[in-house]
Structure 1
Amino acid sequence: MSARTLSIPPFARLIALAALGGGAFAFFALLLLMPITGWTWNVQEWRPIWETGAENWVSLLTGLLAYLVSAWIWALKPRNVAAILFAASGLMTLLFCFSASGMATALLLSDAQFIALIRGNIIGASGFGIIVTCLFIIYPGQLPRWRTFCTFTVVFFSAWTLLRTFGPYQKFEEVQAITFIEMIAIVAAVIGQIFIARHDPRQRAIAVWLGTATILGAGAFISTVAIPITFNQPPLLVEKYAFAFFLVIYIGLAVGLLRYRLFDLGGWAYTLAFYVSAAILLIALDVALIGLLTLEPGQALGASLLLVALLYLPLRDLIWRRVTRGKRSDETELFHQVLDASLQPSPENRIAAWERLLQNHFQPLDMETSQTTETRLEEEGIALSIPSVGVAPALQIRYPKQGRSLFTPRDCALVEQLVSLMRHADESRHAYDRGVSEERTRIARDIHDNIGAQLMRALHSETPERKDTQIRDTLADLRDVINNAQSPVLPLEEMLADLRAETADRLEPHGIALDWTLESEGALLLSPSFIHALRSLVREAASNTIKHASADRLTVSIRVTELQVQLHIEDNGQGFAIGTVTLGQGLGNMKARVESLGGAFSLEAGSAGARLSASLPREGHIQ
């Protein structure tokens, strides 16, 4: 086969082959319509169709349909050996069917032409058996010593056929015995295929399906015609009617393509057949309108285009929309299942839900872990590799639809979408978990810094009335912590005045004086986060001074500039060695709170006390 032939698009190849088959069909159809007086183009002298014999038209239609299906296969896979053999079997079917119908016009033929048709019928019938036997020797798997079996089949049956078709040992009627023995060979090859595919679900399914169609189709013809004639009995059915049994083979092939992707043909094969059928329908309508309605060619073409536009294309569009709507619905359900899998509470549950999703949708016979890092088809569609997703490992699934199908590029694209959605859902869940963790940390920090400091203040209060007031304030702050909100935004000076009074009250029972200075431009409004930060910093510093500093004075200096709020807190206590101190819960919370607002935090220490400094940006927090 030349490279030039293979470069022709499948559509063009199929159209060319269909035209050749259609031309042969037209020739033999016209031959049947010719009167016994000879060939004529005068339609009025042609014989009526009902006088030409229904069995002859059954034979012609069987040969044409078998040829078109096999031509379709070859047009799509011109390099595939199995597809080539099946296409050749269709050509042989056309040959013996057309030859048989042509023999019905013996009065129009010369003796040489009649003999040629008989020989064509014999060669076509025997050739069909030879080709199908070889097909099952190599497909779907190669039988042991397949070259030897193929060679023996071709040499033995070809020699037998040629010996009985030409030369001194010519015996035309022996074709029935030849096809009977060929049928036995086909059955043996099918059994061999089923045996070698016993561990391969896909090959076994193909062998059983295609073998059953072939045995039923060819076997029905052999049983009703070939076997009775071989044993000198009349056929159980008129031979030309029995030819229709061969359509079972080709109908089985078409169904098998949908179920098992025979010859590795994908779903796009049906798209090609869909548009070719539109072209054939257009031509058929044109011919019918010209012949039956005696319209001018231009009028007939216009009418056929109108019928296709009004009937075929709307029907096709309706079917397509229904099919695609179902697929979109399935995909929507899949996406819901992805989200459910991602939100499972534990890694084990997420892995199980992801694998269950793949199992339910693709129904593979086998699923195992792999090392793949990308989604891709393997082994010509037998397997589909899926990369790892979150905690779920990389997988390879094999034999979809319980071994009745192959994975397609559409499946690959769908899995890529599922993987992408699963990863996005995982990232969203991680972000949610981080948010929950940060919120827990905030609550813990607020409880430690604010609530703890206020409870200590209430603990050291000397008067019951003051203690009750402080406890009520603490409960109010606790509600703010839980609800992640403070009271409405407060003026800076008012909040600092309350904080100064609170701090002085806490320090007074411990004999610690408070020096408080504020440099501010005037009335400024604070955001809730800023309120938390300032309160927490001052409260934690005061608590540390009371518990650890042994100081008698605490200095708080607050300076508000155009860009930031600067806070300095210093005590005159015993100090500490900065290299030996780590940030505990309190100091660590102070530093985290400042930095979360985009500020800076520092702690200095020496023999004369400790100094805490913080700067908080005004932008986004103070109005």
Structure 2
Amino acid sequence: MPSTWRRSLPPQALLAIITAIGIVAAAIVTALASALPAPEVTFEAIDDALVVGTAPEELAHLRGRRVTAFHPGDARIPATPTLVIEEPDVLPTYEAIQAWMDDQGALAVALAEGGVWAELDDGTRAFVPAEPRGPLELPPAFYMQLVFGLLGFLLGGAIVSFKPKSLPTRLYALTGACLALAAFTAAVYSTRGLAIDPSLYRVLGSINASGSIVFAGALLGLLFTYPAPLAAFPVPAIALLSSIACAVAANSHVGEKAWTGPQTGVLVHFLPCFPVAYLQWKRHATSPVNRAALQWFFLSIFSGTILFFALVLAPPLFDAEPFAEQSSMFGVFLLIYAGIAAALSRYRLFDIERWWFRALAWFLGGLAVVLVDALLLVTLPLAGVTATFAAVAIVGWLYFPVRQWVWQRIFRRREGQFGQLLRSFVGRLAGTRSLEAFPRFWREMLDEAFSPLEVEVVEEDVPRPRITAHGQSLEIPGFGHVPALRLTYPGRGARLFSREDLELAEALRSLVAHGGAAVADVERGIENERQRIMRDLHDDLGGKLLAMSHVGTPETQELARAALQDVSDVLAALEAGPTTLHALVEQCRWELQTRAESHGFRAELVQTGSTEDRPLTARESTNLARILREAVTNAVRHAGAEHIRVTVHFDPPHLTLEVRNDGAVGDPSLFRMGRGRKTMKARAKDLRGDVTWALEGDECVTRARVEFGAAHDELRESTLFVRGYTAHSPSIRGHREEASDARIRAHPERRPSRRS
């Protein structure tokens, strides 16, 4: 086969070739087993004797009778349980195996000639006829071993088909091939009727022993190389050569069986697997994903091999009989292949993607259709076109619905979970109208979708979503205000990233990018509107107020100048940017002291609680400053306060702004809820807070408590100032509460007298 053709051969073609080899081998084994002549009665080993088990009606008188000997020709062979032993390799010596083969040869000749005479416990003889069995007459134990071996061979071949150049996958496939060799050959001689030709057994037994020993050598090499080679030393090659040498010694009957037998060869290569596995575990101590994968890997391998070794192979080493039948114990090897198949889905063992399951399932599904059709055509008691139509109908109405049901149960995607994630994503996206909030929103969605252990910003350019570090990391490009991110260890470290994760990340990123573009358009519109309002305030209203400040009565001029200052404050608020809590406190301290000097009251501002400085948005700083300004204005204008004490108490995330004055006060519950107080409450509410008024002793206390980090979205922030100062600003709407300082300066005689 040309090397270029081999390199271009697709995985499905390789899998088809491997499947064909397995099916042909199974057919050959079935033909060999069917060709062996078998007595029409069965013999069971009970204690130290052979007893007739099942028998046809014409031989019903033999059921339960004890057989003491067989008479093939002129020979007499004692009827001992050794004659029907399942695995001759459990005999203690090579000499015992040779004696067993001699007896088998004599009995096989007699059975091939039509039957054998059996001597019963009462000394009488009975002729037991024999004839070859058809495939459907072979015992269940035969097909159990055939299925176990074929499944191991196909699963190992399926993995190597998708990664043929990897040494670990080759070794894994070799274990499957060795399992098939051992199971196929054992299926023939372990389910024989009574005897097997010695030359055939020698071939089958040699293949069985070689498969078992090389299986252990390949397993040792696999553990040494996966997930990473423990050393540069060629341990896998040495293990395979050593196992082949042990197989040659066992099949050549060299030396004592206790030292060179198949069980010893398996033991020599199986025991080192444990320290090698420990070294692999220790080497990957700092990798949680590899550790999790190794847990599955080791559990799958050792759960099957330890059971088989302990129950079948180990007892003969101590001159004891196996604790379980070899035919059924071959099934424990499926724990290896089923467990590793599950780990492939969860941890991508051998760096193979989870779609390996789908490709294998589709292939086996097509193969199953062919096999079911063939089986129906062979077994249906119909002929010609009628049998064909019946097979097609059964496949269409029974097989396909059952297969689809199984397919949905095994490979069903998580539509429900994905739908829930999509609904959550759309809901959050619709409520996120600030570009500054998008990085946090994006991280929250990625955490909900993939549950990574780590999320970090990627400095280098990421042109497109990609899986790195053998599935441990997923890199997602940035966009707009969102940087490129690297997600590591999905599922809280329980799995690796897959192609499905890559597609999901690309879809989510596309949605967020489009949502960010829409929000950017909205913010540009808001900024344009803000600039238009600022121009109108400055050019139209500002110009008129400036003209009024130079004409009219002194009181009118003073009020116009106050209103002009308000317009200036509005413009400053519209242009305001982020600040910090400490900067805001110092700004309020300066403004409070300036007003105290201007209006003749004593002012004091203290800061308590946490000394942590905190960034503030323009809305937060403006709302707090306006609340404080209105509270001071009310204390000076309505109460004629002589001493005002302001306390700023920060207890993250809450801030309390307290204004105490000693002016002429009454019961705050009787205060009229004017526009100034309503505006204060509205500003506090915008920061998830409230403003209260209380009479404590001789002082009136205005207390505002707000929460940082809980403000509304940026769109509301952008329009707050426009709405607040065009709809509520006293100077612009003609209300004069905010211009009280000007009136106080113009008419100091109107300051209210202090009441007790």
TM-score, normalised to structure 2, is 0.55
CA change 1:126–1:328 in 2 (3 A) is same
Partner of 1:387: 477
Partner in structure 2 of residue 373 of structure 1:
462
Pairs within 5 Å for 1:561-600: none
Partner of 2:178: 92
Aligned partner of 1:398 in structure 2 is 488
Structure 1 distance, partners of 2:404, 2:547, is 79
**What are structure 1's unaligned runs of at least 5 residues?**
463-623
Partner residue in 1 for 2:450 = 362
Tell me, in whole angstroms, the C-alpha distance in 1 between the residues paired with 2:390 and 2:222.
44
Secondary structure of 1:384's partner? strand
- For 1:368 and 1:300, how far apart are their aligned partners in 2? 65
1:62 paired residue among 142, 148, 152: 148
Residue 4 (structure 1) aligns with: 5
SS in 1 for 2:272: helix
- C-alpha contact (below 8 Å) 1:364/1:399 kept by paired residues: yes
Which secondary structure state, in structure 2, belongs to the residue aligned with residue 199 of structure 1?
coil
Pick aligned residue for 1:237 from 308, 321, 324? 324
Distance 1:106 1:327 in 2: 56
The question of whether the paired residues in 1 share the 8 Å contact of 2:473 and 2:488 is answered with yes
1:513 aligns to what?
none
In structure 2, relative to structure 1, the CA distance for the partners of 1:241 and 1:135 (3 Å cut) is same
Matches within 5 A, 1:71-470: 71-104=157-190, 105=192, 109-147=196-234, 149-166=235-252, 168-169=254-255, 171=257, 174-296=261-383, 299-314=386-401, 323=413, 325-326=415-416, 328-330=418-420, 332-333=422-423, 335-336=425-426, 339=429, 342-343=432-433, 347=436, 349-370=437-458, 371-374=460-463, 375-451=465-541
Letter in 1 for 2:8: S
Deviation per residue, 1:167-220 (Å, 9 max, x gap): 643849821222233221222222221111111223222222111111000110
Letter in 2 for 1:91: A
Q: CA deviation at 1:449?
A: 4.4
Deviations 1:449-486 (A, max 9, x none): 45556778999999xxxxxxxxxxxxxxxxxxxxxxxx
Instruction: Write out per-residue CA displacement over residues 93-149 of structure 1, whole angstroms, 9 at most, x where no aligned residue.
Output: 0000111111133867532221011101100000110001101100111113442x3
Measure, in 2, the Cα distance between the counterparts of 1:260 and 1:38: 54
Instruction: Tell me, in whole angstroms, the C-alpha distance in 1 between the residues paired with 2:542 and 2:450.
Output: 58
Shift of 1:368: 2.5
The DSSP-based 3-state class of the residue aligned with 1:323 is coil
| Structure 1 pair 200–334 and aligned structure 2 pair: CA distance change class (3 A) | farther
Q: Which letter maps to 2:30?
A: A
Displacement after TM superposition at 1:311 (Å): 4.3
Per-residue Cα deviation, 1:372-417 (whole angstroms, up to 9, x for no partner): 3322222343322122233333222223223343323332232222
Verify the 8 A CA contact 2:221 2:239 in the aligned structure 1: yes
**1:360 partner letter:** E
What is the deviation of 1:151? Answer: 4.1
Report how far residue 50 of structure 1 moved: 8.6
Instruction: Answer yes or no: is the 8 Å Cα contact 1:364–1:400 preserved in 2.
Output: yes
2:140 is matched by which residue type in structure 1? A
* Aligned match of 1:14: 15
| Higher mean C-alpha deviation, range 188-197 or range 153-162 | 153-162
Whole-angstrom distance in 2 between the partners of 1:126 and 1:384: 42
Give 2:413's aligned amino acid: V
Q: Deviations over 1:276-297 (max 9, x none)?
A: 1222221221232122213446
Q: CA deviation at 1:448?
A: 4.2
Deviations 1:327-357 (A, max 9, x none): 65155246427626954x583x543332232
Q: Match for 1:372: what amino acid?
A: D
Distance 2:404 2:199 in 1: 52
| Partner amino acid, structure 1, of 2:352 | L
Letter in 1 for 2:523: D
Q: Structure 1 residues 119 and 334 mapped into 2: Cα distance closer, same or farther (>3 Å)?
A: farther
- One-letter amino acid of the structure 1 residue matched with residue 293 of structure 2: I
Distance 1:16 1:263, change over 3 A: same
Cα 1:304–1:85 shift into 2, 3 Å: farther
Unaligned stretches of 5+ in structure 2? 39-110, 115-129, 553-756
What does residue 469 of structure 1 align with? none
Counterpart of 1:27, as a letter, is I
Task: Report if aligned partners of 1:337, 1:357 keep a CA contact under 8 Å in 2.
Answer: no
Instruction: Give the superposed CA RMSD.
Output: 3.3
For residues 326 and 511 of structure 2, what CA distance do their matches in structure 1 show? 61
Task: Name the CA shift for 1:170/1:302 in 2 (closer, same or farther; >3 Å).
Answer: farther
Count of equivalent residues: 456
Of Structure 1 and Structure 2, which has the larger fraction of its residues in helix? Answer: 1
How far apart are the structure 1 equivalents of 2:29 and 2:22? 11
C-alpha contact (below 8 Å) 1:83/1:263 kept by paired residues: yes
Distance 1:22 1:222 in 2: 28
Question: Which residue matches 2:101?
Answer: none
Q: Distance in 1 between matches of 2:361 and 2:438?
A: 42
Flag the 1:160–1:456 CA change in 2: closer, same or farther, 3 A: closer
With the length of structure 1 as denominator, give the TM-score of the two structures. Answer: 0.66
8 Å CA contact 1:225, 1:239 repeated in 2:
yes
Q: What is the alpha-carbon distance in structure 2 between the residues aligned to residue 136 and residue 451 of structure 1?
A: 84
CA drift at 1:324: 6.2
